[in-house]
Every structure is written in C-alpha cells, then in structure tokens.
C-alpha cells in the first residue's frame, strides 16, 4: 500500500522483494499505480521485456495539469495500461486515451474532501465509449465524506487486456469446434 515508484531507499529495497513475488504469483493480477510516472522505466526489473502478463500499470491523473503522466505510461510496455482519475479535482478533457485500456473515475472521500463535478465523469465516460471498446470506464464514486457514494447512471466496466484477447482468439470455439 505505497507508491512503489517513489524515490526512497526503503522502496528500492522492497522492489527487490516485490518483483520475484509478482513472478511467483502468475494467478494474481497486480495493479501498480503511481503518480511518479517518470520513474516507472528505471524501477522495472531487467526481465520486464514486454511486461509481465499479470501486471497492469497505471498512473493517477487528477486533472489536465497532469496528463503528461499518461504520455510517460504509454512509453512502457505493459499487458494493460490504466488511468486512475482519482481524486477527480478538475476536468480531464485533454487526456489522450491512445494506448490506455481503462479509466477509473473517483471523487475524493473523507472529512476534508474536495468536491467533484458530475460533468467531469460524464465527459470521461463519453471519451472512453468513443474509443469503440478499447477503453473501459469504471465509475468508483462521487466526492463525499464516505467512500462509495452515488454510482447511479455510470458504467462500472473492467478491461480485457489486448494480449488476453489475442490469446482467446486462438482458442475460438466457433462452428468448427462443435464438430469434434
């Protein structure tokens, strides 16, 4: 429960333990999220290659001021790339969704929460839907004291990594499979 790409000596030591654990647990999906997108590449293990099949890489983007994090993310090979639009603190209408397969929207929660605007969520949902199935949209919550508030009328989709889709097509059980 930390930002594993933080520039901190304790984190660097923990990464040496984390990467083997991730390799040893191929049945788990690891969602690695950071605000430090510029540090992702230098923090990955030597055997990263095209990305581990069980790791989804994501960046937090609170508003248009931080869209460059998505640009950094697109440069990293990954099974799936996602944006956590959390906490939503302003419009995110300048985000290029190319290469992004999932956007999670969430207003801030807690006693000192900052308000969000339903138009931000609607705009992002429309942008994801315009990607013709390539970008799933998950509405987590509106801003409020308690997490999980008011999800009515919004999509809660989960992505299917493109790598998995390619593998699934190889095992297509179309009409020819029924004759076995």
Confidence of residue 36 (pLDDT cuts 50, 70, 90): very high
Dist. CA 22–CA 30, nearest whole Å: 7
Report d(CA 24, CA 44) in Å as an integer.
16
Q: What is the largest CA-CA distance in the chain?
A: 62
How many Cβ atoms from other residues are within 10 Å of residue 73's Cβ? Answer: 21
User: So what's the pLDDT on residue 177?
Assistant: 44
Helix/strand/coil for 146: coil
Tell me the residue length of the chain. 180
Beta bridge partners of 32: 57
8 Å CB contact between 54 and 28: yes
Whether 180 shows a pLDDT value over 80: the answer reads no
Residue 69 has a pLDDT of: 98
Q: Which two tokens stand for residue 48?
A: 């990263």
Q: Radius of gyration over alpha carbons of the chain, in Å?
A: 18
Whether the per-residue pLDDT at 35 is higher than 90: the answer is yes
The pLDDT of residue 25 is: 97
Q: What is the pLDDT of residue 156?
A: 86
pLDDT at site 178: 43
**Which sequence spans correspond to the domains of the chain?**
9-178
Dist. CA 17–CA 144, nearest whole Å:
37
| Residue-wise pLDDT tens digits, 140-179 | 999 998 877 666 678 888 898 766 666 555 555 555 444 4
pLDDT tens by residue, 10-27: 998 999 999 999 999 999
Nearest alpha-carbon partner for 101 in 161, 153, 150, 44: 161
pLDDT digits 0-9 by tens, 43-72: 999 999 999 999 999 999 999 999 999 999
Q: What is the pTM of this model?
A: 0.87
Tens-digit pLDDT profile for residues 94-132 = 999 999 999 999 999 999 999 999 999 999 999 999 966
Report the alpha-carbon distance of residue 86 to residue 109 in Å, rounded.
10
Alpha helices in 101-179 (DSSP H): 118-130, 162-170, 175-178
The pLDDT score that the predictor gives to residue 127 is 95
């Amino acid at each position: 429960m930390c930002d594993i790409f933080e520039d901190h000596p304790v984190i660097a030591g923990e990464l040496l333990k984390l990467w083997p654990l991730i390799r040893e647990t191929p049945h788990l999906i690891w969602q690695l999220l950071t605000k430090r997108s510029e540090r992702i590449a230098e923090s990955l293990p030597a055997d990263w290659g095209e990305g581990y099949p069980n790791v989804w890489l994501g960046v937090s983007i609170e508003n248009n001021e931080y869209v460059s994090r998505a640009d950094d993310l697109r440069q990293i090979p990954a099974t799936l790339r996602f944006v956590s639009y959390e906490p939503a603190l302003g419009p995110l209408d300048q985000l290029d969704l190319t290469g992004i397969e999932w956007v999670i929207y969430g207003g801030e929660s807690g006693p000192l929460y900052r308000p969000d605007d339903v138009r931000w969520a609607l705009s992002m949902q429309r942008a994801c839907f315009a990607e013709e199935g390539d970008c799933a949209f998950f509405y987590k919550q509106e801003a409020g004291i308690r997490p999980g508030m008011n999800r009515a009328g919004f999509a809660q989709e989960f992505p299917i990594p493109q790598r998995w889709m390619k593998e699934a097509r190889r095992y297509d059980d179309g009409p020819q499979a029924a004759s076995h």
